[in-house]
Amino acid sequence: MSAQRNVQTTELARSIYQKYISLRTASCCFNFIPHKLRQEIGVRLKQTGSGFPDPRLFSAILPYLDSFLRQQHEQFVCSEEFLEAFNRVNMGVEDSGDFPSERRRSGVSSKKPQLTAETLMKSRHDREHVLGER
């Protein structure tokens, strides 16, 4: 928006700063962003005055935000609630239109594999190894 000179850019940047980054007004759940960085963003935002903020104003917090969101996602998908719900939904869905008797004759099990925290961690390890993540 800032690069396009949208008039709402400054208002949006200030709102984001106040709600999520400001040491004084932001929610305490965003304390994963270093204090010094939060202060620097505030100073840079104040320096813009009534002009347009730098399009990269919030770029410095992206690695911290990415790390935080990855941790939150990992906690969620490893939670008992998620695993139970996932497996409950997964068990109710049929792979094909085959009749149960046809699956038994063909040797295909009607029971689907269940997702567990262990398989999620193995999947994560494999993905990081192959894709070079983290």
**Whole-prediction pTM value?**
0.63
pLDDT, one tens digit per residue, over 45-96 is: 999 888 889 999 999 999 999 999 999 998 998 888 888 888 888 777 544 4
pLDDT at 89: 83
**Mean predicted lDDT score pLDDT of the chain:** 79
Cβ–Cβ under 8 Å, residues 1 and 8: yes
Share of the chain above pLDDT 90, in %: 40
Res 100: pLDDT: 47
Q: Tokens in use for 125? A: 């390890």
**According to the 3-state scheme, what is the secondary structure of the chain?**
CCCCCCCCHHHHHHHHHHHHHCCCCCCHHHCCCCHHHHHHHHHHHHHCCCCCCCCCCCHHHHHHHHHHHHHHHHHHHCCHHHHHHHHHHHHCCCCCCCCHHHHHHHCCCCCCCCCCHHHHHHHHHHHHHHHCCC
Position 112 scores a pLDDT of 63
Q: Between these two residues, 43 and 82, which has the higher pLDDT value?
A: 43
* Best CA proximity match to 67, nearest among 34, 39, 19, 32: 32
Predicted confidence at residue 134, as pLDDT, reads 55
Written as six digits, the tokens of 78 are 């490893």
* Percent of the chain with pLDDT strictly greater than 70: 73
